Amino acid sequence: MAEMETGGGGHKKGPGVKKGKKLSTRVDLTPMVDLGFLLITFFIFTTTMSQPTAMRLNLPKDTEKPEDQNKVKASGALTLLLAKNDKVFYYEGELAPDGSNFKSANFKEIRQEIINKKKNTDPKDFMVIIKPNKESTYKNAVDALDEMTINDVKRYAMVDIFDVENQLIKASEGAK
Amino acid sequence: MPKHKVVRKSTPIDMTAMCDVAFLLLAFFILTTKFKPSEALAVVTPNSVSNKIAPQKDVVLITIDKDGQVYLSVSDDNTKEKRALLEEINNQNKLGLTEADIKNFLNSGSYIGVPFAKLKSYLALTPEELKKTKIEGIPVLDSTNNQLTEWMRAAATAFAGSKMNLLVKGDNASKYPSFQAVINAFKKNDMMKFQMITNPEAVPAGTELYKNNMKLQGEAAAAE
């Protein structure tokens, strides 16, 4: 550190070394530390560390011609129906006319269902169809799409819900 | 009893080191901090495992608030496109917007949230007045009068030849029909790619994606 050369008396210690009058340069740093930490807390609270991320979604083109449409074996499909209060209903393959394969679950249980279905199906036939109903929220739709990413489902689609399915949802909601 | 006088010794601690640390941290936080722009539209976005950072430039943002109302905004840097977008809408619908109205839209942080018919009076509002006014969002739910379709067409024209990032920012609580209507508006304009703004979330352990990520990390470590 640079030292101020203060002249003044005192005996010489050696050639060229002047001994100045000793002034204490100790500053009480406590208030400064206080201030420092106060500002730190302020910045910690105001900072936004996590940048929002973006989830990509490519929509399929609506095709009128049947030959352009993707053909999926009905047996390889898993249909998720999103309903209100974060409920998920699902069925495998085609919906049985009596609704016997129509089951209910929640978002935690549905992951296992997707994994099971994926395991038991030929990969080229496997497809998940997501049908949010009118009372489901945007969060539900994003969660369902996220579930596709999590479980590495290659083919999935968001499709409009059918009336039959809506009625089944209504019926099973009413049953509880 | 002999009086015991407790000798209080002062304990001077050298604060220099602590001060250094404090200010080092302070400097770090000052440099990394990025203030949240005060958003006129409060939206709580859902979480997803996606780890791609949302783009900031060339953005056309569709916001769906918790009541399912739909708003449109363009990133502030793209003033040229913003102007083109509004002029396009103005010409298409004969709204008779003045230069001043368009200038208002060019202001930072502006967003559109009214039907065409009210656009002129809406743009004339100052930011303070806007806060007090209740606006109803762009009409989307009526499939015969999905005005977002026209907005998106105008956006496509305005961004013609340059890259456009289509973003959807929806509130957790908003109902699905609004989102569906937004998607329909995109589809009608052949905009098949869009991104949804979400908050990052950890990948649940043991799932396929988790295993894939682990594998990738292992490979990257092995390559080093």
pLDDT, tens digit only, all 176 positions of chain A: 444 445 444 444 556 656 667 777 777 888 888 898 898 888 888 776 666 777 777 776 666 555 555 566 677 778 888 887 877 888 877 776 666 777 777 777 778 878 887 777 777 777 888 888 888 888 888 888 888 888 777 778 777 777 777 777 777 776 65
Asked if the C-beta of B180 comes within 8 angstroms of chain A's C-beta atoms, the answer is: yes
pLDDT, residue B97, reads: 73
Identify whether the C-beta of residue B193 lies closer than 8 Å to the C-beta of residue A56: yes
Bridge partners (DSSP) listed for residue B68 = none
Closest CA–CA distance from residue A14 to any residue of chain B (Å): 32
**Cα B86 to Cα B106: distance, rounded to the nearest angstrom:** 9
A152: closest CA of chain B, how far (Å): 6
What is the predicted pLDDT for the residue at B80?
Answer: 78
The predicted structure's pLDDT at residue A8? 46
- Going by the DSSP 8-state scheme, the letter that residue B143 receives in this structure is G
Could you tell me the pTM of the whole model?
Answer: 0.70
Residue A99 gets which letter from DSSP? -
Cβ–Cβ below 8 Å for A57 and B190: no
* Burial (0-12, 13-18, 19+ Cβ within 10 Å), A1: exposed
Which residues in chain B land under pLDDT 70?
1-3, 35-41, 108-109, 127, 143, 224
Q: What pLDDT score does B108 carry?
A: 66
Q: How far apart are the first and last CA of chain B?
A: 76
- Give the per-residue pLDDT at B37: 58
| Helices (H), ranges, B47-139 | 79-93, 99-106, 119-123, 127-132
State how far the alpha carbon of A166 is from the alpha carbons of A112, A173, B47, in Å.
Answer: 24, 10, 27
CB-CB under 8 Å, B35 with A59: no
- Residue A97: other Cβ atoms inside 10 A: 7
Question: How many whole angstroms separate alpha carbon B37 and alpha carbon B55?
Answer: 15
Q: Give dist(CA B159, CA B209) in Å, integer.
A: 35
pLDDT at A7: 46
Give the helix/strand (H/E) hosting B62.
strand B59-64
Say if CB A58 and CB B193 are below 8 A apart. Answer: yes
